[in-house]
Amino acid sequence: TPASRGIIQGKVAIVKGVKDLPNVNRGDILVAVTTHPDYVPAMQKANAIVTDEGGVTSHAAIISREIGIPCVVGTKTATKTLQNGYVIEVNGNSGMVKIIKKA
């Protein structure tokens, strides 16, 4: 589901919990099951957000619109299909996430 408009490419940083937040670098694409308020500092470093769960009123969707980055939510399998280091394209206009290069 497209949740915040824009199209961007970047490197995947998978966040499965708070312990993974330091692994998100400026310009990465944060990929998580869902997001929580604890994730906001990492979300602000990311160029886009992709989540397995959620809709247009989810935490990830609202924060991504506030900070002006593309977001796709409700993918169901992003954290299982994608791996750290993959380069992907996030299309927040159409809701598509495309693998550009595997790590």
Let me know if 36 is a catalytic residue: no
Supply the pTM of this predicted model: 0.97
Backbone region of residue 20 per phi and psi (left: phi > 0; alpha: psi in -120 to 50; beta: other values):
alpha
Expressed in angstroms, the distance from the first to the final Cα of the chain is: 25
From 32, 59, 73, 92, active-site residue: 59
Which of 103 and 62 is assigned the larger pLDDT? Answer: 62
pLDDT tens profile 4-39: 999 999 999 999 999 999 999 999 999 999 999 999
